[in-house]
Amino acid sequence: MPKGSPHAQTGRIFMENTKYRYLTTSDQEKHLPQPPLEIPADPEKPVFGLPKPETIDVPPRDLRTAIEERHSVRTYDKEPLTIPELAFLLWCTQGVKKTAGTYATFRTVPSAGARHALETYLLINDVRGLEPGLYRYLALSHRLQQIDPDPTLHIRIAKACIDQQFIMRCGVVFLWVAVPYRMTWRYSERGYRELHKDAGHVCQNLYLAASAVSCGVCAIAAYDDDSMHAILGIDGVDQFLIYLATVGKTGPANG
């Protein structure tokens, strides 16, 4: 950013102002009620069950090999993903292993204070048995809810992601939406730092898990925030897109 721009120091200001010594009393410390563990399902939109994680047959994959061979893939085969494969990837990235009442969830990825302030949206392009469109993963019940069946969404999302065309040719796009109050309720403004760490944990799990089902992944951070928020139907404040990644059956390696 050009020197002298009013936004040139934004990142440094954020890091300075979220140091512990500047934190205000959190809403948890004020004994205010915590936000829900998950955005409730829309009662007007269809919900689909997913295969239970323990029933999904996944080929064994050595962890060291998966780590050593991890790379970003932007070219995919035309073979569709299956619903069990998608369910496996959802479980590996946001699967709920157990809950502590309405207080916390313990999942397959780490999160600061077990806040788990991310919601997983999916752009389905080519998954056998699912219509194309936008969905949301209901992690607490391991189900999918259809949000928007518009079959042209992949075109709009690719454009909003700075015209990255491989978005239209993958099987599915994972879109992680942050719900900041779920985190800042406990950690005040410093919670915004934790949201970005959590997104990294989730995406790395996706990379490693995808290799077990012959898929490649490419994380994406380049997108127009306002355009993507409009597509997802979120306000960009109480909920905002923090990260996304394409997934598809493995084609020629690009990384």
Output the domain CATH number for residue 52. 3.40.109.10
47 or 254, greater pLDDT: 47
Q: How far is CA 206 from the centre of its chain?
A: 9
**Residue 4 in domain:** no
Most distant pair of Cα atoms in the chain: their distance? 58
DSSP code for 52: -
Beta bridge partners of 248: 216
Strand 215-220: give its sheet, edge to edge. 47-49, 143-148, 133-138, 118-124, 172-178, 240-249, 215-220
- The pLDDT tens digits for 41-72 are 999 999 999 999 999 999 999 999 999 999 99
**Is residue 176 assigned to a domain?**
yes
**pLDDT score of 1 more than 80:** no
Number of separate domains in the chain: 1
Task: Kindly state whether residue 86 falls inside one of the protein's structural domains.
Answer: yes
Q: Is 83 helix (H, G, I), strand (E, B) or coil?
A: helix
Read off the pLDDT of residues 66-117 as tens digits, 9 standing for 90 and up.
999 999 999 999 999 999 999 999 999 999 999 999 999 999 999 999 999 9
With respect to residue 143, please indicate whether it lies within any of the assigned structural domains: yes
In terms of residue numbers, what domain contains 26?
10-37+46-249
Domain membership of residue 255 (yes or no) is no
Tell how far CA 19 is from the center of its chain.
26
pTM over 0.85: yes
